[in-house]
C-alpha cells in the first residue's frame, strides 16, 4: 500500500517537473521576443525622432543623445541610404516640378507678368488652369537647378488660406493681387467675378483693381456686412447646385465639361480677417459656403480668417514679407514669394479688361438676344428653361420645372408686366416646339394684350404654341374657371396615364409612353386677381381649383404663371396660402409689393425695365436682377411669331380665341354650320363660356317640359336667343317637316320677328307671324298630334291681356290653351320658345304648378333669387350683365351656366 502511494507520488512529481520545464521554455521565449520588440520599437522611435527633426537640423545635444542610442549606428545608416537614394531620384525633382507647373499654370496663370500683363484673356471659362503661381522654392543644395515654381490650385479645385506674420499686410496684398490679376487676365471678360471683403476697411482694398469695380467683375462689401456677402454666395451656390443637379451633374465643372456651356461665371471671394475668430453665426455661414462653394465654381481666399472648413484648402503662412511656408511644398521648404506686379502696369491692364467687359456687355440687349440661333431644339421633359433678360450682359434665365413649378409675377400698372410675359413667352416658344410646350393665355384686363397671338383681321399668323388665347375676360370670370377646370381635367388625365405606366412624373411618363402627346402646359393668367373679385361661388371654386392645380401640377407638367398688379390686395389668395406657397418662382417688377419675401426689398430699388427674378420663394438670397428687353414694341414679338408660324403652323391647329368684348356670330359658328337635318333637333341659344368653342343648346325631344323661356327685358339679347334658337332648328328639319309659328305683340320687335319668319320660309319651312294667337293656340290644342311645330312667342307678357280675355260663350281663354300647349305640346313635338320680360308674368302665364313646363330657360336682366323656383329651388347667383345670359336646363344641369348670346349684326337693336 505504502509502495503504491510512493510510486504514485513519484509519477506526479515527474509530470509536474515536465510541466515546469515547458513553462520555463515558453517564458524564456516570450522574454526574448519582448526584448526584440522593445529594441525594434526603440529603433523606430529613434527613426521617427530623427525624421521629424531632420538629420542635419538637430541641435548638438540632440545629436549626442541620438548617438548614445544602441541602435544609432543602424538607424543613421538606414536613413542615410534612404536619403541618398531620394536625392539621387530628386535630382530630377525640380525639373519635374517646373514642368508640372508649366503644364498646369499656362499663360497668365504661371508665366512672368511681362509675358501677358495688359492683354485681355480668351479662356471662355469652360475649364480653368489647375494651378496659379505664387512664387518659387529651392530644394536643398541651393543651386539654381534646384529651384522650381510654387503654385496653388484655386477656382473649382481648392480654397486658399493665408496667414500673416507681423507687418506683412502689404506682402499679402501683393500675393492676393498677383493671383487676382492672373485670374482675371486668363479668362475672357465676364467669365470671372471677384468679391472683396475686408473686416478692417471699406474702400481701399487692393486699390490697383479699382477700374474693375466699375463693372460686375469686382464687388466690394461693407466691413460690417459679411452676412450680405455670405448670403449672396449661399444664393449662388443653391441656384447653381439646383441647376447642376436637375441636369444630372454634381458640379458646375462637370456640367461645363459635358454641356460645353459656361453657364455661370467663376467667382473668387477674398476675405480679409484680423486673425480673430468670427462670431459664431458668421463662422457657421462661412463653413457652409466653403463646403459647397467649389462645386459651384466659387473659391475663397481667406486672409487671417481662422476657420476650419471641411473643403480642400491650401495654406500659405508668411514668415516675413518675402517668404512663406506653403502646404503645397511642405514645412521643409521656404517659398520665395513673387514680388507684387508693378502698380502702374496693373492699373493699365485692369482698366483694359474693364473696358473690354463694358464693351462686351454692350449696353441694353434686345429681344432678339433672348432667342437661340435655331428654333425648337430643347426638350421639355425635365423642365422649361429660357433667358428672359440680362444682368450686365449675362443672360438671366427663368426655370419652370419640378423645383419651381409655378410663377407669381407682380408689378404696378405700367411697370412692364405684360412686356415681361411677352419676353418669357417668346423665349420659351423659340426654344421648344409646340409638341414640347402648349400655352394657355388669359388676360383679364380690358385691352388686347394677347390678342395678337391668335389670328386676327390684320395679321393672319398666330403663335403655334398657343392653344387658347383669352382676352377681355374681365367680366367673364367664368371663363377663368373654365380654364382652371380644363387644367384640372388634364391633370387627372395625366395622373391616370402616369398610374397606368407606373411612373410619377412627366419626364418618366414621356419615356414610358413615347408615342403619347405630353407637352408641358403653361397657363398664363394676367390680372388673375379678377378670379377672386367677389365673395361668391366663382371665387370659392377658383381657389379650390387653383390649389389643386398648384399642388399636383408640378409632377404632371402643368404650370401656372399668375400675374397681377397688386398681389397684396388678393384677399382670397392670402386666406389660402397653398397656391401662393407653390409659386416658388417670384418675379417682381419695380415697386412690386409682397411678391418677394417680407424683408426682401429688392423690388423697391429695381430700376425701370428691370425685374427681380427669384426662384426661392422670394427669399433675398435668390434675387437675380435682370434687364428685360423690350418685347412689346411694334414688330418685335411679331417677327418671332412669323418665324414660328412659318415653321410650325402647318402642323398645329390655330388657337381658340375667346374675346369677352365680342359676341360670336351665329353664321360663323362651327356648331351652327355643322347642323344638318336629324331626328334629335337641338336649339342653339348662345356660346358656352368654355375652353373649347362649344355652343350651348337645348335638346327638344318629344318629352314633357321641353320648352324654352327667355327671361328679362334686355331686348337685343332676347331677340338674339329667339333668333339663334329658331334658325338652328330650321337647319335640322327637312323642308316641310316642321312648322314655325311666330307671335310678336311688341311693336318694336315686329320687324325682327318678320325677318326671322322670312328667313325660315327661305329655308323651306312653313312660318307665319300670327296676329290672333289665342285662335292659333285653340286650334293647336285641338290637333296636338298633327306634326312638329315650333312656337316662337315674343313678349308673352304683352300678349297676356288678350290671352286672358274670354270671348262670350267660350269656356276657355287663350291663356288656358297656352297652358295646355306648354304642358302637353312637347310630348307631341310642339315646343314653345317664349320670351317673358318679367318673371312675375311668366308665373302668371304658367299658373299654379306650371313651373315644370319650363324645362329650360335663359335669364337676362333678372335677379338670381327670382329664378330659384325654376332651378329646382336652388339658390341662384346671377349678376346680370350686358351680352350675357344665365342658362339652365333641368335635364342636364346641376347649376345654371353663363352663356354668350350670338351677335345679330343685321339688326340694329
Ligand atoms: N423692358 C421694356 N423696355 C422698354 N419698354 C418697355 C419695357 N417694358 C414695358 N415697356 C413699355 O412700357 C409700357 C407698359 O408696359 P406693360 O404694358 O408691359 O406694363 P404692365 O405692367 O403690363 O402695365 P399694365 O398692367 O397697365 O398693362 C408699354 O408701352 C411697353 O411697351
**Predicted confidence (pLDDT) per residue in 157-210, tens digit:** 899 999 999 888 889 999 999 999 999 999 988 899 999 898 887 667 888 888
Q: Whose CA is nearest to atom 13 of ligand 1?
A: 414
Q: Whose CA is nearest to atom 4 of ligand 1?
A: 630
Is residue 81 marked as binding?
Answer: no
Q: Which atom of ligand 1 is nearest to the CA of 419?
A: 18
Instruction: Determine the pLDDT at residue 405.
Output: 94
Specify whether the CB–CB gap between 725 and 695 falls below 8 A: no
- Measured in Å, residue 429 CA sits from the centre of ligand 1 at 20
Give me the count of residues in the chain.
909
- Measured in Å, residue 698 CA sits from the centre of ligand 1 at 45
Is residue 77 marked as binding?
Answer: no
Is residue 28 marked as binding?
Answer: no
Domain edges within the chain: 15-90, 109-354, 378-482+519-659, 666-900
Longest CA span, the chain: 166
Specify whether the CB–CB gap between 899 and 708 falls below 8 A: no
Residue for cell digits 350675357? 884
CA within 13 Å, CB half, 257: 11
Write down the CATH number for the domain with range 666-900.
Answer: 3.40.50.300
Ligand 1 probe mutation, 607, 632, 633, most atoms within 8 A of CB: 632
Specify whether the CB–CB gap between 473 and 479 falls below 8 A: yes
- Measured in Å, residue 562 CA sits from the centre of ligand 1 at 17
Instruction: Determine the pLDDT at residue 24.
Output: 86
Q: Which atom of ligand 1 is nearest to the CA of 447?
A: 27
Q: Which atom of ligand 1 is nearest to the CA of 629?
A: 1
Distance from C-alpha of 674 to C-alpha of 671, rounded to nearest angstrom: 5
Residue for cell digits 508665366? 111
Q: Which letter does DSSP use for residue 847 in this model?
A: -
- Measured in Å, residue 623 CA sits from the centre of ligand 1 at 21
Instruction: Determine the pLDDT at residue 569.
Output: 63
Q: Which atom of ligand 1 is nearest to the CA of 411?
A: 21
- Measured in Å, residue 516 CA sits from the centre of ligand 1 at 39
Q: Whose CA is nearest to atom 8 of ligand 1?
A: 416
Instruction: Determine the pLDDT at residue 347.
Output: 92
- Measured in Å, residue 420 CA sits from the centre of ligand 1 at 8
- Ranges of the chain whose pLDDT falls below 70: 1-2, 85-91, 140-144, 202-203, 362-364, 447-448, 568-576, 905-909
Is residue 449 marked as binding?
Answer: no
Q: Whose CA is nearest to atom 10 of ligand 1?
A: 416
- Measured in Å, residue 834 CA sits from the centre of ligand 1 at 49
Specify whether the CB–CB gap between 398 and 386 falls below 8 A: yes
- Measured in Å, residue 596 CA sits from the centre of ligand 1 at 20
Distance from C-alpha of 621 to C-alpha of 240, rounded to nearest angstrom: 12
- Measured in Å, residue 154 CA sits from the centre of ligand 1 at 44
Bridge-partner residues for 219, per DSSP? 195
Ligand 1 probe mutation, 390, 414, 427, 529, most atoms within 8 A of CB: 414
Q: At what angle do helices 796-804 and 773-782 cross, to 10 degrees?
A: 80
Q: Which atom of ligand 1 is nearest to the CA of 627?
A: 1
Q: Whose CA is nearest to atom 23 of ligand 1?
A: 414
Where are any strands of DSSP class E within 297-454?
298-303, 313-318, 323-326, 330-337, 383-391, 394-401, 407-410, 437-443
Q: Whose CA is nearest to atom 5 of ligand 1?
A: 630
Is residue 106 marked as binding?
Answer: no
Give, in order, the Cα–Cα distances in Å from 379 to each of 384, 385, 510. Answer: 8, 10, 11
Is residue 495 marked as binding?
Answer: no
Burial 649-664 (b: 16+ CB within 10 A, else e): beebebbbbbbbeebb
Specify whether the CB–CB gap between 524 and 421 falls below 8 A: yes
Where are any strands of DSSP class E within 513-672?
520-526, 558-564, 585-588, 610-614, 623-627, 656-659
Ligand 1 probe mutation, 416, 427, 610, most atoms within 8 A of CB: 416
Q: Do domains 109-354 and 378-482+519-659 have the same CATH topology?
A: yes
Alpha helices in 70-168 (DSSP H): 72-90, 93-104
Instruction: Determine the pLDDT at residue 909.
Output: 42
Write down the CATH number for the domain with range 109-354.
Answer: 3.40.50.300
Instruction: Determine the pLDDT at residue 571.
Output: 58
Q: Which residues contact 359 (CB under 8 A, 6 or more apart)?
A: none
- Residue-wise pLDDT for 614-634, tens only, equals 999 998 888 888 999 999 888
- Measured in Å, residue 403 CA sits from the centre of ligand 1 at 29
Is residue 639 marked as binding?
Answer: no
Bridge-partner residues for 150, per DSSP? 135
Ligand 1 probe mutation, 388, 413, 418, 420, most atoms within 8 A of CB: 418
Burial 356-382 (b: 16+ CB within 10 A, else e): bbbeebeeebebeebbeeebbebebbb
Any idea what the Cα angle at residue 147 is, between residues 146 and 150, rounded to 5°?
Answer: 135
Q: Which residues line ligand 1 (CB under 6 A)?
A: 411, 413-419, 565, 609, 628, 630, 632-633
Q: Whose CA is nearest to atom 3 of ligand 1?
A: 630
- Measured in Å, residue 630 CA sits from the centre of ligand 1 at 8
Instruction: Determine the pLDDT at residue 522.
Output: 97
CA within 13 Å, CB half, 579: 24
Count of CB atoms situated within 10 Å of the CB of 442: 25
Number of H helices, E strands in the chain: 25, 31
- Measured in Å, residue 414 CA sits from the centre of ligand 1 at 5
Ligand 1 probe mutation, 367, 389, 419, most atoms within 8 A of CB: 419
Q: Which atom of ligand 1 is nearest to the CA of 421?
A: 18
Is residue 433 marked as binding?
Answer: no
Q: Whose CA is nearest to atom 26 of ligand 1?
A: 413
Q: Per CATH, the architecture of 378-482+519-659 is what?
A: 3-Layer(aba) Sandwich (3.40)
Amino acid at each position: 500500500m505504502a509502495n503504491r502511494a510512493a510510486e504514485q507520488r513519484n509519477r506526479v512529481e515527474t509530470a509536474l517537473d515536465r510541466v515546469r520545464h515547458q513553462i520555463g521554455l515558453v517564458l524564456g521565449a516570450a522574454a526574448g521576443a519582448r526584448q526584440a520588440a522593445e529594441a525594434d520599437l526603440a529603433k523606430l522611435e529613434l527613426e521617427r525622432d530623427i525624421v521629424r527633426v531632420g538629420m542635419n537640423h538637430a541641435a548638438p545635444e540632440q545629436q549626442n543623445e541620438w548617438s548614445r542610442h544602441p541602435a544609432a549606428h543602424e538607424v543613421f545608416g538606414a536613413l542615410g541610404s534612404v536619403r541618398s537614394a531620394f536625392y539621387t531620384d530628386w535630382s530630377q525633382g525640380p525639373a519635374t516640378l517646373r514642368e508640372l507647373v508649366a503644364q498646369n499654370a499656362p499663360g497668365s496663370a504661371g508665366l512672368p507678368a511681362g509675358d501677358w500683363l495688359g492683354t485681355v484673356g480668351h479662356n471662355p471659362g469652360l475649364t480653368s488652369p489647375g494651378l496659379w503661381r505664387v512664387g518659387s522654392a529651392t530644394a536643398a543644395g541651393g543651386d539654381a537647378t534646384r529651384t522650381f515654381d510654387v503654385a496653388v490650385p484655386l477656382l473649382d479645385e481648392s480654397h486658399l488660406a493665408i496667414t500673416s506674420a507681423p507687418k506683412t499686410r502689404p506682402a499679402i496684398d501683393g500675393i492676393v493681387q498677383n493671383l487676382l490679376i492672373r485670374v482675371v487676365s486668363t479668362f475672357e471678360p465676364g467669365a470671372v467675378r471677384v468679391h472683396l471683403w475686408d473686416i478692417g476697411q471699406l474702400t481701399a482694398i487692393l486699390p490697383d483693381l479699382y477700374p474693375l469695380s466699375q463693372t460686375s467683375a469686382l464687388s466690394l462689401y461693407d466691413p460690417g456686412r459679411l452676412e450680405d456677402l455670405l448670403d449672396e454666395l449661399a444664393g449662388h451656390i443653391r441656384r447653381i447646385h439646383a441647376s447642376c443637379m436637375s441636369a444630372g451633374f454634381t458640379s458646375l465643372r462637370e456640367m461645363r465639361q459635358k454641356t460645353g456651356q459656361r453657364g455661370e461665371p467663376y467667382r473668387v471671394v477674398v476675405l480679409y480677417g484680423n486673425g480673430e475668430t468670427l462670431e459664431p453665426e458668421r463662422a457657421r455661414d462661412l463653413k457652409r459656403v466653403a463646403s459647397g462653394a467649389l462645386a459651384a465654381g466659387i473659391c475663397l481666399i481667406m486672409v487671417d480668417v481662422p476657420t476650419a472648413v471641411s473643403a480642400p484648402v491650401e495654406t500659405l503662412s508668411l514668415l516675413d514679407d518675402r517668404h512663406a511656408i506653403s502646404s503645397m511644398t511642405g514645412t521643409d521648404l521656404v517659398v520665395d514669394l513673387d514680388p507684387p506686379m508693378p502698380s502702374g502696369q496693373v492699373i493699365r491692364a485692369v482698366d483694359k479688361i474693364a473696358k473690354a467687359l463694358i464693351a462686351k456687355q454692350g449696353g441694353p440687349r434686345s429681344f432678339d438676344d433672348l432667342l437661340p440661333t435655331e428654333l425648337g431644339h430643347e426638350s421639355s421633359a425635365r423642365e422649361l428653361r429660357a433667358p428672359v433678360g440680362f444682368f450686365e450682359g449675362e443672360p438671366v434665365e427663368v426655370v419652370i420645372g419640378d423645383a419651381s413649378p409655378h410663377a407669381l409675377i407682380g408689378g404696378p400698372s405700367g411697370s412692364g408686366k405684360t412686356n415681361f410675359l411677352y419676353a418669357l413667352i417668346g423665349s420659351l416658344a423659340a426654344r421648344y416646339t409646340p409638341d414640347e410646350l402648349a400655352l394657355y393665355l388669359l388676360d383679364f384686363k380690358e385691352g388686347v394684350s394677347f390678342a395678337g397671338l391668335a389670328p386676327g383681321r390684320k395679321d393672319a399668323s398666330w403663335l403655334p404654341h398657343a392653344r387658347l388665347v383669352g382676352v377681355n375676360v374681365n367680366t367673364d370670370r367664368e371663363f377663368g374657371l373654365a380654364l382652371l377646370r380644363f387644367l384640372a381635367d388634364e391633370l387627372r388625365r395625366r395622373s391616370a396615364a402616369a398610374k397606368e405606366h407606373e411612373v410619377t412624373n412627366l419626364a418618366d411618363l414621356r419615356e414610358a409612353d413615347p408615342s403619347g402627346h405630353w407637352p408641358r402646359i403653361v397657363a398664363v393668367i394676367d390680372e388673375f386677381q379678377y378670379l377672386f373679385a367677389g365673395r361668391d361661388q366663382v371665387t370659392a371654386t377658383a381657389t379650390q381649383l387653383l390649389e389643386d392645380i398648384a399642388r399636383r401640377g408640378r409632377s404632371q407638367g402643368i404650370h401656372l404663371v399668375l400675374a397681377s398688379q397688386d398681389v397684396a390686395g388678393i384677399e382670397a389668395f392670402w386666406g389660402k396660402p397653398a397656391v401662393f406657397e407653390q409659386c416658388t418662382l417670384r418675379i417682381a417688377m419695380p415697386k412690386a409689393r409682397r411678391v418677394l419675401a417680407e424683408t426682401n426689398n429688392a423690388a423697391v430699388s429695381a430700376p425701370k425695365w428691370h425685374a427681380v427674378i427669384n426662384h426661392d420663394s422670394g427669399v433675398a438670397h435668390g434675387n437675380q436682377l435682370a434687364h428685360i428687353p423690350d418685347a412689346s414694341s411694334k414688330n418685335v414679338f411679331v417677327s418671332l411669331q412669323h418665324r414660328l408660324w412659318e415653321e410650325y403652323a402647318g402642323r398645329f391647329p390655330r388657337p381658340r380665341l375667346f374675346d369677352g368684348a365680342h359676341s360670336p356670330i351665329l353664321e360663323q359658328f362651327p356648331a351652327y354650320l355643322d347642323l344638318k337635318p336629324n331626328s334629335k333637333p337641338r336649339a342653339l341659344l348662345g356660346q358656352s363660356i368654355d375652353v373649347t368653342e362649344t355652343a350651348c343648346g337645348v335638346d327638344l325631344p318629344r318629352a314633357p317640359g321641353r320648352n324654352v323661356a327667355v327671361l328679362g327685358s334686355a331686348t337685343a339679347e332676347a331677340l338674339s336667343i329667339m333668333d339663334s334658337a329658331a334658325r338652328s332648328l330650321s337647319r335640322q328639319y327637312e323642308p316641310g317637316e316642321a312648322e314655325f309659328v311666330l307671335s310678336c305683340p311688341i311693336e318694336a320687335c315686329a320687324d325682327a320677328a318678320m325677318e326671322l319668319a322670312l328667313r325660315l320660309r327661305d329655308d323651306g319651312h312653313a312660318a307665319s307671324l300670327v296676329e290672333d294667337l289665342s285662335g292659333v293656340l285653340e286650334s293647336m290644342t285641338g290637333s296636338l298630334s298633327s306634326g312638329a311645330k315650333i312656337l316662337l312667342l315674343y313678349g308673352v307678357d304683352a300678349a297676356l291681356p288678350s290671352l286672358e280675355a274670354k270671348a262670350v260663350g267660350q269656356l276657355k281663354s287663350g291663356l288656358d290653351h297656352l297652358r295646355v300647349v306648354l304642358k302637353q305640346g312637347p310630348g307631341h313635338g310642339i315646343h314653345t320658345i317664349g320670351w317673358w320680360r318679367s318673371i312675375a308674368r311668366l308665373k302668371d302665364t304658367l299658373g299654379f304648378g306650371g313651373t315644370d313646363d319650363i324645362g329650360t330657360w335663359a335669364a337676362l336682366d333678372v335677379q338670381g333669387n327670382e329664378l330659384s323656383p325654376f332651378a329646382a329651388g336652388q339658390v341662384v347667383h346671377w349678376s346680370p350683365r350686358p351680352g350675357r345670359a344665365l342658362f339652365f336646363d333641368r335635364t342636364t344641369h346641376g347649376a345654371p351656366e353663363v352663356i354668350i348670346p350670338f351677335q345679330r349684326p343685321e339688326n340694329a337693336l
